[in-house]
């Protein structure tokens, strides 16, 4: 199984265009810029799945030779998109894929699919360009030679969907297995907590990409002039790396798994490879890969 990390930052990317916080001002050699989180996965290197569809998807595809169009004049190797939720930074890229006039399959939690019909009508917009196949992810499915398991991990709604009468779950994680090689990728960029069943879900995984949005539970409080409280930060739906209930303390339960953090917010001090936060992540046996990282599982 081939895996390419197209983007590794949270919404807005790094640096964020409207932000002059200490971390955004520090972007450079030790703090490489990052586009918004998105991953490409393939069993054969020829047919690819997208995990989420970031607003940066056009530049991510253009910058990735494996995703180049062809061999026909209007063919693309991108066959499907697997959405973890209905957040803007995970779905707006679908609008950039509208030229894939027919045949694209989109898997997502049922609540997300309903939101993308009503609150953010991406299904209707793309439907004007060609017929796509929108499918509820359910508990699992097979596509393009890969087996996919699905775990509900949260009920955090996008802001635009707060008033919609739609039952959750709203957020899922994916476990993607290549039956030919036994390689297993877990993709969980949005974890509000370490959810029930997640330890079993990652057991035996070759590589687990998990939520690295925030380093500390009160990071936003001092990072920007907005002064976001600790409680408000937690309601954003992202478990911190550090702290008593952070994710770093859980990783050692699975010594055989290669852990990596993605979806890093522009305020996260672990973006700096010379920082104490980055050193703590590495000491725990986890990585913070950059955009363009390629893996074979």
pLDDT tens digits, residue range 73-112? 888 999 999 999 999 999 999 999 998 756 899 999 999 9
The per-residue pLDDT for 174 is 98
CA distance 112 to 52: 12
Q: What percent of the chain has pLDDT over 90?
A: 84
Confidence class for position 68, pLDDT limits 50, 70, 90: very high
Give the residue, 252 or 156, on which the prediction is more confident. 156
Confidence class for position 130, pLDDT limits 50, 70, 90: confident
Q: What is the mean pLDDT of the chain?
A: 94
Give the residue, 227 or 23, on which the prediction is more confident. 23
Phi, psi of 134 (to 5 degrees): -95, 125
Residue-wise pLDDT for 189-205, tens only, equals 999 999 999 999 999 99
The per-residue pLDDT for 244 is 87
- Tokens at residue 289, please? 């890969």
pLDDT reading at 129 higher than 70: yes
The per-residue pLDDT for 231 is 67
Residue-wise pLDDT for 255-272, tens only, equals 899 999 999 999 999 999
The per-residue pLDDT for 61 is 97
CATH number of 2-296: 3.60.15.10
Q: What percent of the chain has pLDDT over 70?
A: 95
Maximum Cα interatomic distance, the chain, rounded to a whole number of Å = 54
Helix, strand, or coil (residue 234): helix
Residue-wise pLDDT for 199-244, tens only, equals 999 999 999 999 999 999 888 777 766 666 666 677 777 999 999 8
Give the residue, 230 or 288, on which the prediction is more confident. 288
52: left (phi over 0), alpha (psi -120 to 50) or beta: left
CA distance 120 to 217: 30
- CA-nearest of 99, 168, 157 to 128 is 99
The per-residue pLDDT for 147 is 98
The per-residue pLDDT for 217 is 86
pLDDT reading at 126 higher than 70: yes
Instruction: Name the pTM for this structure.
Output: 0.96
pLDDT reading at 188 higher than 80: yes
The per-residue pLDDT for 146 is 98
CA distance 15 to 34: 7
Is the Cβ–Cβ distance between 295 and 6 less than 8 Å?
Answer: no
pLDDT reading at 10 higher than 70: yes
The per-residue pLDDT for 100 is 75
**Average confidence (pLDDT) over 145-162:** 96
CA distance 292 to 275: 22
């Amino acid at each position: 199984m081939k895996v390419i990390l197209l983007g590794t930052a949270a919404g807005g990317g790094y640096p964020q265009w409207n932000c002059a916080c200490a971390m955004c001002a520090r972007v450079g050699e030790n703090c490489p810029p990052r586009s918004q989180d998105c991953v490409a996965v393939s069993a054969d290197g020829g047919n690819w799945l997208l995990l989420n569809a970031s607003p940066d998807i056009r530049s991510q595809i253009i910058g990735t030779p494996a995703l180049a169009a062809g061999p026909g004049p209007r063919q693309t190797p991108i066959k499907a998109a697997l959405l973890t939720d209905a957040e803007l930074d995970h779905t707006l890229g679908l609008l950039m894929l509208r030229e894939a006039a027919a045949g694209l399959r989109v898997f997502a939690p049922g609540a997300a699919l309903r939101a993308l019909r009503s609150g953010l009508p991406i299904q209707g917009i793309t439907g004007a360009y060609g017929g796509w196949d929108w499918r509820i992810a359910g508990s699992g499915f097979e596509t393009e030679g890969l087996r996919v398991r699905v775990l509900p991990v949260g009920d955090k709604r996008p802001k635009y969907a707060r008033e919609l009468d739609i039952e959750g779950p709203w957020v899922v994680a994916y476990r993607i297995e290549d039956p030919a090689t036994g390689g297993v990728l877990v993709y969980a960029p949005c974890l509000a907590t370490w959810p029930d069943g997640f330890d079993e879900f990652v057991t035996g995984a070759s590589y687990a990409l998990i939520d690295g949005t925030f380093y500390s539970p009160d990071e936003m409080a001092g990072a920007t002039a907005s002064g976001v409280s600790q409680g408000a930060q937690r309601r954003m739906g992202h478990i911190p790396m550090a702290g008593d209930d952070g994710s770093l303390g859980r990783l050692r339960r699975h010594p055989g798994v290669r852990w990596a953090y993605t979806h890093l917010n522009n305020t996260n001090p672990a973006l700096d490879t010379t920082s104490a936060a980055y050193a703590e992540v590495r000491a725990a046996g986890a990585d913070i890969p950059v955009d363009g990282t390629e893996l074979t599982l």
